[in-house]
Structure formats: C-alpha cells, structure tokens
Amino acid sequence: METTLGAIAREAGVTPAMVHYYFKTRDQLLDVLIDERFVPLRAELGRAFADSDAEPADALRAFAEGLVAVAERHPWFATLWVREVISEGGLLRQRIAERFGDANKKASIARIAQWQKEGKLNPHLEPSLLFVSLFGLTLLPLAVTYTWAEESGGRAPRRDQIARHAVALLMHGVGPLVGPF
Amino acid sequence: METTLGAIAREAGVTPAMVHYYFKTRDQLLDVLIDERFVPLRAELGRAFADSDAEPADALRAFAEGLVAVAERHPWFATLWVREVISEGGLLRQRIAERFGDANKKASIARIAQWQKEGKLNPHLEPSLLFVSLFGLTLLPLAVTYTWAEESGGRAPRRDQIARHAVALLMHGVGPLVGPF
Amino acid sequence: METTLGAIAREAGVTPAMVHYYFKTRDQLLDVLIDERFVPLRAELGRAFADSDAEPADALRAFAEGLVAVAERHPWFATLWVREVISEGGLLRQRIAERFGDANKKASIARIAQWQKEGKLNPHLEPSLLFVSLFGLTLLPLAVTYTWAEESGGRAPRRDQIARHAVALLMHGVGPLVGPF
Amino acid sequence: METTLGAIAREAGVTPAMVHYYFKTRDQLLDVLIDERFVPLRAELGRAFADSDAEPADALRAFAEGLVAVAERHPWFATLWVREVISEGGLLRQRIAERFGDANKKASIARIAQWQKEGKLNPHLEPSLLFVSLFGLTLLPLAVTYTWAEESGGRAPRRDQIARHAVALLMHGVGPLVGPF
DNA sequence: TATGAATGAGTCTTCATTCAT
DNA sequence: CATGAATGAAGACTCATTCAT
C-alpha cells in the first residue's frame, strides 16, 4: 500500500494542495521527514553507542534496548524503517544512505573489529553485519508483530518482551544457559 | 517504489499486455508467483526443521543455514521477502499469511516452548519471536547487503559470511567466547 | 460505438481526469446522470398521466404528447433512451429498472386493464405493452430521425409532425377515417 | 455491453484468431453479417409488402405480422435491430443505411402518400414515419421484453401477444371499438 | 485451415502537481 | 495562508489484430 500524498495530507488534517504549499515536491517532503524525524533518532542512538564506556557486549545490549525504546516512543518508526529504509527501492533508503555517509559506518565497524581483537566480543561475528543484526532482532520483530494484533486477534508480543528476547539472544544465543550464570 | 506490472514485464523482456495474457490479473500473477516459488521453498525449510532429530539448538542452526542456502540458490528470495512478505502492506504478505495458516506457526511455537521447559533452549527467549529472529539474522542481512555492492563499491559480505555470522550469534551471542568452547 | 468516459469528457470540453474529479467513478457518473436528468422527466410524465381525469384515450394521447414535448426540451433524451435505456446491455437500463421498481408499472397495467373492462379502451390491446408502444411511436421515431438530417440532407420530420403522427395512429389506427369524423 | 470479437468467437465455438482468418477485419465481419443475415430478411419483408394486392391497411398489417414472424424465427433479430441498427452509433446503422439506399425508402413513402390521397389510409399519418412506427410497435416491444423474463420472473408477453397488440393498435387505435365492428 | 502467442492502441482510474482565487 | 479545480503522466486491464507454426 503505497503511501500517497493524499493519505499523508488526510492524516495530517490538511488538503493535498497544502502539502505542496509547504513541501514544494514529494521529494522535499521526504527530505524534511528524514531531517526532522529520522536524523534526531539516529543521532540519539549513535551518541548512546559512541559514548558508552561499558563493556562492548553491554554497549551493544544498550543499543538494542535503545532501538526498542525509540520505537516505543515513535510507533511509526519500526514499520517505516522496514518498509522504506531497508527494503530495496524503499523511499528513504537512498536518502538515508546519502545522509549518513560511509565514514560513520566504517568507524563503527573498525571499533567492533578492534573489540574482537581485544577478546571482548565473539570473534566469529562479522563486524559489518553486527548492526544489521541488531536491527533484525529489534525493529524487524517490532514491525512484523505490529499488525499481528489486528490480523490474528490481539496476541502481539509486547515491546518489552521483544527487548528481553533480543537481549537474551544477543547475550547467550539460543542454547541453554550454561556455566556460572 | 511499487513494483508495477510494467516493471515486471520490462524485466522479463515482454510487454505489459503479455503479462496479462498469461496471468489474467495482477492478483493471479501474485498467486502463481507464490505457488510456484515461495511454497516449495517454504515446504523445504519446514521439512528440514520438522524432521530434525538433532539437539534443538542445532535444529535452529540448521534452519538458519537452510535459509541462507535457499537465498543463495534464489537471489531474489531475500529481497522479495523483506519488501513484499514482511513489510506492512507488502504485496504478498496477506496472501502468504493465508496460505500458511496459524496451525503451523502455533505448533512450532509450542515445540520451542517445550524445548525450553526441557532445558534445551535459552529460557529467556520468547518462543513466538524466535523464527522472526532467525529471519532477521539471515534474510534481512542478505537483502540489505544485496545492493551494497552496487551502491558502495563491491564490498558486500559473501553469503557464507552471513551464515557464519548468524550462526555465531545464535550459538553464543555477542559476548566473548568463554569456558570450554 | 460504446460511450467512453473520454468521449463524454471531450464532448464536455474537459479532460477524462476531470470527469473523475467530479464523479469518483464511472458508475457514480451514471447514477448522477440518472438522478439529475432522468428522474425529474420521468416524474413529470408519471404525474401527468396519473393526475389526468380525462377519458383514458385522451390520457394516453396526453402522455404521448408529453413524451414528445420532453424530448423537444431535451434533445438528448430520445437518443439516449433508445441507446442506453431500452437497448439490451444499455448503460442505464439496469439502473433505471432498479430505480423505478415494478410497483409503478404494475399499477399502470392494472389501470389499463380496468379501463378495458369498462369499455373505455380497445380490448384487444395488451396492457403490459401499451406503454412500450407509446414510446415506440414517439421516442423511437425521434431518435431515429434525429440524425437523418445530417445523413441525408435536412429532411428530418419536425417534432410536431412526429407528435401528430403518433396521435393519429393512436386515435384511429392506420385505416381511413370512417364514420362521422 | 459491447459485443467483442472474442465473444462472437466463443459463441461460435472457434478462436478469435479464426474469426480473423475468415473475416480479415472486424468491419468485414459486420458486412458479411449484414449480407448473410439482414439482407435476406429485409428482402423477404420488402417483397411481401410490395407484392401485396390487399387493401393498404391490410398490407401494413401483414408487414407488421411479417416482422414479428421474422423475429420469431430469428431470436437475435429484434435485439440486434434495436441495439445496432437504429441506435445512434449502432454498429450496423450506417452500413444498413448504405446498403438500402434512399430509392427504396422514397418509393415506399410515395406509395403511402398516394394511398392517403386515395382515401385508403388515415390522412393524418406522416408517410415518412409510418414504417418506423411499424418497427416501434413490433421489434421494439420484442427487444424490450426479451429480457423481462430473466429480470422480473418469466412474465414476458408471448410473440403472438405482441403481434395481436400491434395489429389492434394499427387497426383501431387505443380507443374503444365503435361502430359496426 | 487453424491457433497460441504476442502486442499496440485505447479505456478507466489514480496521483502528484499546478494554478487561480 | 489555504484550497478547489484541473491536468499530465502512469498503471491495470481489454481487445482487435498480427504472425509464426
């Protein structure tokens, strides 16, 4: 279901023409949307991660929890992220990619690799994939289960369940708990 | 970018009218697509998981590896899954949901819960989310990195890296390896 | 020649998209057309006939004259009636039938039959066909001769000729005038 | 409901391509249709009328009865005539008009006018409209009532009723029978 | 002779965009 | 600021027509 300008306008309680009055074109509307909505969230997450003095594993856990927290405050976030940001051809994909250049990404990847070298992270992980995994364990389930409620009768997992599940998986994997835990 | 019939036709090297000649309507095209492409893959994965006599953790690992293997044989699988199957409003979402009813899903969830009770799986996991997590650790990275190559110059992770990464995360989490591993 | 939306638009001097701007769908356009154009005329004719205190034959004559008068005021009426209302598969046929239910029709038929019993109408007439005959003697000639002018050079019968002809036939049949007329 | 080539083909039990094999184009199909179906019927009717030695009124009655008889033998005749022959823009209208030129028509009109002068026909009739009236009293009711059966439950007038009704109207008009009948 | 495959042109419809008010 | 009116471009779908077999 393509989100039409008319739908956006109706939801905002204005006329389609009004949307154009403010955002000369559909593209500019998207740019503004990104700047005003995505960028702050992204910045917030980035800061949380970068500033962390905690053990690497805890920093990642904090990042995952941060993602869920953000999605909790902004119900549209998870869904929009799946549909428009990561999906091939998503409306925001290219724009987001352009805005958050490679630099940031490379730095993060380098940091993870460094942590692995220091024996602070599972060495079999692929640094360039770790963040995607974190999104896949948090926003993806949030987006997928978002409409489960309507579709199959109200039994969608709660947000905190999703966070706990993701953290459990991140911390120990699927296997039974072993050792001195 | 909505996948138009024209786009499908162009990609297949035929005219839009041709598509209608074979699939009387857009809906039928999608139904055929699902029946001929998705159903067999899904069945294959389901069988692999259901038949497994292995330890639960290994069964899940096998499932994840199966997902990556399927995506390796069918390059369109991961992308299509993200864009059209799990995304809210995806073209195939409702159709897929209808075809693979709740029964299957409930059985899998029950099985996982049972395994947890038997101490064979991490008890902090949420059974209803485990499969979503497996998809989020395999198909999602596959889809996301699919176009990385074009976009930023050929450094997309290889498929086997993705499988290894997912398995590493599933088996031990992000933390450093401890104990007698 | 099917009446396309494009044709209607062209004739109205607007674009096809304009037609949709006003009438969300082709169906609604037709409904509006019927409500605004046909219903009032039909009501006018119905009233004229129902109210008449005159002799039955004169009431029928008045109805026929009313039909011609209406067609005189609305040049599109006769043509549209033949093409879209009575023709099998006509665009308006089903809609019109739905709007003017059977009740009205049955009442009229009963009235005619009653008149016949009272000796006020030709008893060999078939009550259910009398109205069709009235249309066939007025609107049909009007529609048929409408384009005679263009096609064969201006010798189309005038409207009053058609009315006179229909009335002459209704009052006396085709035969020569006999008796004390 | 535009009659498509495909529909014609299906009804004839052949493929659409086959129709083109025989009738190089849609137009030619229509020409053949006219030549093989309409022309003979028209000729038959024309002959019946022209040859008649009867009183004029009886000749007209015979013509009307002939029309009904033809429609009885060829169920498609009345419907097609209304939809495609007399309706403005009907597929066959122009073609039929071209085939049966003015000459014939003018001769008939002259003949009727002559009869009127001789006191053998109602002088108030309009010669050029008399044939249209005959069609309007026979084929039109036949076409209109053709689908009444399906639509409102089987109470369509029978063909002989229609013929009797038309003749009754033609012979005496709508008024009560008077004088020595 | 016959047809399945293929297509260009046209129909209805939607939507982003423009513009006069 | 705001909007109703209007439209060009594009999408799904239909159909007469062509063509290789």
Residue A88 confidence class, pLDDT cut points 50, 70, 90: confident
Q: Between C86, C119, C157, which is nearest D82 by CB?
A: C86
Which residues make Cβ contacts (< 8 Å) with residue C145, sequence separation at least 6? Answer: C156, C157, C162, D129, D132
Cβ atoms of A147 and B97 within 8 Å: the answer is: no
Contact B57 A176 (CB under 8 A): yes
Contact B126 A165 (CB under 8 A): yes
User: Mutual orientation of helices D127-146 and D159-172 as an angle, nearest 10°?
Assistant: 150
CA distance C163 to C62: 10
Give the minimum alpha-carbon distance from D73 to chain C in angstroms, rounded to a whole number: 19
C33 CA, E17 C1': Å apart: 30
Which residues make Cβ contacts (< 8 Å) with residue A157, sequence separation at least 6? Answer: A141, A145, A165, B126, B128, B129
Chain B segment 127-156 residues within 8 A of A by beta carbon are 128-130, 132-133, 135-137, 140-141, 143-147, 151-152, 155
Cβ atoms of A125 and A116 within 8 Å: the answer is: yes
Superfamily of domain D27-172: Tetracycline Repressor, domain 2 (1.10.357.10)
Q: Looking at chain B, which subunits does it touch, using at least 3 CB pairs closer than 8 Å as the criterion? A: A
How do residues B14-73 score in pLDDT, each as one tens digit?
A: 999 999 999 999 889 888 888 888 888 888 888 877 766 778 888 899 999 999 999 988
CA angle, D103 as apex, D98 and D106 as ends, to 5°?
A: 120
Q: Pick from A92, A146, A152, A169 the residue to mutate for testing the B interface (most B CBs within 10 Å).
A: A169
Q: Between C88, C126, C151, which is nearest D143 by CB?
A: C88
Cβ atoms of C46 and C37 within 8 Å: the answer is: no
Q: Between C61, C83, C128, which is nearest D88 by CB?
A: C83
Structure tokens at C7: 């044709």
Cβ atoms of C89 and D83 within 8 Å: the answer is: yes
Give me the DSSP letters along A5-34. Answer: HHHHHHHHTS-HHHHHHHSSSHHHHHHHHI
Domain residue spans of chain D: 27-172
Q: Do chains D and C touch (3 or more CB pairs under 8 A)?
A: yes
pLDDT values of chain C reduced to their tens digit, one per residue, 181 residues:
467 888 888 888 889 999 999 988 888 888 888 888 888 888 888 887 777 678 888 899 999 999 999 998 888 888 888 888 888 777 788 788 877 777 778 888 899 999 999 999 999 999 999 999 999 999 999 988 876 655 555 566 677 899 999 999 999 888 787 654 4
How do residues B89-145 score in pLDDT, each as one tens digit?
A: 777 888 888 877 777 788 888 989 999 999 999 999 999 999 999 999 999 999 888
Instruction: Provide the CB-side half-sphere exposure for A99 (13 A, CA).
Output: 18
How do residues B133-179 score in pLDDT, each as one tens digit?
A: 999 999 999 988 876 655 555 566 677 889 999 999 999 888 787 65
Chain A segment 12-51 residues within 8 A of B by beta carbon are none
Q: Which amino acid is at C176?
A: P
D72 secondary structure, DSSP code? H
Contact B165 A136 (CB under 8 A): no
CA distance D101 to D84: 18
D178 secondary structure, DSSP code? -
How do residues C79-114 score in pLDDT, each as one tens digit?
A: 888 888 888 777 788 788 877 777 778 888 899 999
CA distance A157 to A67: 16
Q: Pick from D26, D98, D106, D129 the residue to mutate for testing the C interface (most C CBs within 10 Å).
A: D129
Using a 7 Å cut-off to protein CB atoms, list the covered nucleotides of chain E. Answer: 1-19
